[in-house]
Amino acid sequence: MSAEPAVLAPGDAQETQEPQPSGGRSGWASLRPLVLRLHFYAGVLIAPFLLVAATTGLLYACSYQAEKVVYADELRVPVGNSELPISRQVAAARKAHPEGTVSAVRPSPEDGATTRVLLSGVPGVGADHTLAVFVNPYSGEVRGALEQYGSTGALPLRTWIDELHRDLHLGEPGRLYSELAASWLWVIAGGGLVLWFGRRRARRKVRGTTGRRRTLSLHGSVGVWAATGLFFVSATGLTWSTYAGQSITDLREAIGQTTPVVTASVASGGEHAEHGASSSAEEARGKDVGLDAVLKAARAEGLSNPVEIVAPADASSAYVVRQIQRSWPEKQDSVAVDPATGEVTDVLRFADYPVLAKLSRWGIDAHTGVLFGLVNQIALVALASCLILLIVWGYRMWWQRGRGATFGRPLPRGAWQNVPAYVLVPLMAAVAVLGYLVPLLGIPLAAFLAVDIVLGEIAYRRGKRTYAPVG
């Protein structure tokens, strides 16, 4: 295919420039140097963040299969003749681990899989984590206990890699790195595509089999094929980022596209009312219909495995039983069950979710590698590998142009001044809106433009103007 840079081409600055006519320029002819400059310098400066994100993302995509091997003793047991009632499995888990309170139960989803009893408030376990006690559903044997994080049931190995990918184990400040990478990935990929499709003749000219031309050809071809996937991971990564993610959430709320939740309140409080609002769920549970009846009621509403039974939050709340299958086809239905009567008080079907809520669910699950299972994870590994190669090739081209000494000459400054007003004004308006919604794109871009203007003005005043005059 091509040799024009598609993504992350920090080495393609000078070689792809063309002399411009002294007369008036077309919109693309005047815009191309700006796109090239942005693509070049954004690639150089953002690539280190993208490299970390791609490497840790690749590790995360592999962690699902690694988890099955590392925790095989906790996750799998020989298939027995019949399963014990859920209440007996929970009792076995509580006997081995009486600390904390039962917050949820994940019954064995398939033959040979263990049941998870999730305990919250366990000393030494983080507030946003639970202690998962693994129980043999056929014998009641406790197979072990591990910390669990998130709705996908991540165990310690995957949790550690997940946090490395998300925030480098630095907490909230560390999330800025991943948001910065996601904010700029689509810009760099899009700039490369625009340059690639905008210069077909140049792509033919730079084809070669050795040296920098070979690197450029590989970079461009792989970049074009990977661009769609890069756009996808950029967009889905932003949906749960700190700042851009909040903008997306606010927008969804404004247009009524938030993810609905099943109503878990029980108006009368049932026979738990005598305990008062401060009564713990575990104290009240001794007088309710029990986990087995709750699960039976959920099954009657069509909730098949895998499911999670969430304990009532207080004396006036219901059990919530929800499907937790994130692989295709997704199972995300949920019901609320009155602890006093065992009656279903509310039903929420995934089919009734708003369109954007469904798209968000599918997008996040595909980004994390669970939507299509192993195929999804292999695709993410391939995409992350492509991004790593694109970054390496981009820096290599930069090095090859400068013979390892000067790293090449910088692109001419002031390219934005050659863009006609009818193109520049709406472009700046769009960038301003986008920068407001995606701050870690807008702020660095504004800083880059400010520095570019100042340096260009200094060079001009010194008689070393580095950009061609308009017209």
Report d(CA 298, CA 236) in Å as an integer.
32
pLDDT digits (tens, 9 = 90+) for 235-258: 999 998 999 999 999 999 999 999
Among 191, 195, 215, 189, smallest CA distance to 399 is for 215
Tens of pLDDT, residues 391-440: 999 888 888 776 544 444 445 555 666 677 777 788 788 888 888 899 99
Q: So where are the chain's domains? A: 27-63+174-253+374-461, 74-154, 261-352
* 1 neighbors 223 (Cβ within 8 angstroms): no
Within 10 A of 291 (CB to CB), how many other CB atoms are there? 22
- What was the pLDDT predicted at 298? 98
Architecture of domain 74-154 in CATH?
Roll (3.10)
Instruction: Determine the Cα–Cα distance for residues 204 and 3; give it in Å rounded to an integer.
Output: 7
Is the bond preceding 19 in cis, omega lying within 30 degrees of 0?
Answer: no
Q: What are the tokens at 172?
A: 């909230």
The token duo for 62 is 């592999």
Q: Could you tell me which of 214, 231, 233 has the C-alpha nearest to residue 393?
A: 214
Q: How far apart are CA 267 and CA 263, in angstroms?
A: 11
Model's pTM, two decimal places? 0.84
pLDDT of residue 199: 60
CB of 234 within 8 A of CB of 42? no
User: What count of residues does the chain have?
Assistant: 471
SS (H, E, C) 282-344: HHHHHHCCCHHHHHHHHHHCCCCCCEEEECCCCCCECEEEEECECCCCCECCEEEECCCCCCE
Instruction: Using alpha carbons, select from 302, 214, 313, 198 the residue that is nearest to residue 266.
Output: 313
What is Dmax (Cα atoms) for the chain?
A: 88
Angstrom CA distances, 166 to 46, 49, 254, stand at 16, 12, 27
Phi, psi of 102 (to 5 degrees): -75, 115
In this prediction, the residues of the chain whose per-residue pLDDT falls under 50 are 1-24, 201, 206, 208, 269-282, 284-286, 404-410, 465-471
pLDDT of residue 400: 79
- The C-alpha atoms of residue 342 and residue 160 are separated, in whole angstroms, by 39
pLDDT at 397 (0 to 100):
84
| Strand locations in 47-128 (E) | 101-106, 115-120
